[in-house]
A and B are shown apart, each in its own frame.
Chain A
């Protein structure tokens, strides 16, 4: 058990809809990362938050947004969903020590299916 909790485990929704994925980081970790894993694109970094503020941005679409709350949990919001958004979405957390190479601890992911 990594200590990172993601909910829900599975989500099935229709095109054009909006969903929210939730992540609770490991106790003590201030950084949260979101990754998208799809068959054709592999594991793509979306965005990182550190202690409530955006720290780094990757290949995140404008239809997607995220935030990290004061209790350090994070939410990833996906809107105007398209079939191609179907993927496994992972959250990871770390202690985020600069230059310290802390490991990322991954949750078990949320599988999103857009129909």
Chain B
């Protein structure tokens, strides 16, 4: 079945550091890929998405490139801020229907 594997957290960085959160997937066909972010006490929010190979999704300084050859969708940001502290979920949508399959989430803590 479809699955998403994320690097385990927590990831702790200093402000202005470079961020990478790894995400790989297994799916039939050509899934669409997403990153969602969950701030404390809130629901998940869509951060960015990519719907086909080599697409780059970007938003709020975050970006991720759909790599079909490595089945990966790693999240990156050049300079993180304390306000980026949250849990980040990689997800995919495959086949018919619109349900998402999520990874286990990676907690990011950014310190001053």
Contact = CB atoms under 8 A, between A and B. Distances in A.
Interface of A: 2, 4, 31, 33, 35, 42-43, 45, 48, 55-56, 58, 90, 92, 94, 96, 98, 101-104, 106-109
Contacts of B49: 101, 103
A48 B101 CA distance: 13
Interface residues of B, number: 22
Contacts of B17: none
18 contacts: A42-B103, A42-B104, A43-B89, A45-B100, A45-B101, A48-B97, A48-B98, A48-B99, A55-B97, A98-B97, A101-B32, A101-B51, A101-B98, A104-B98, A106-B43, A106-B45, A108-B43, A109-B43
Contacts, number: 56
Nearest to A31: B98
Interface of B: 32, 36, 41-46, 49, 51, 89, 93, 96-105
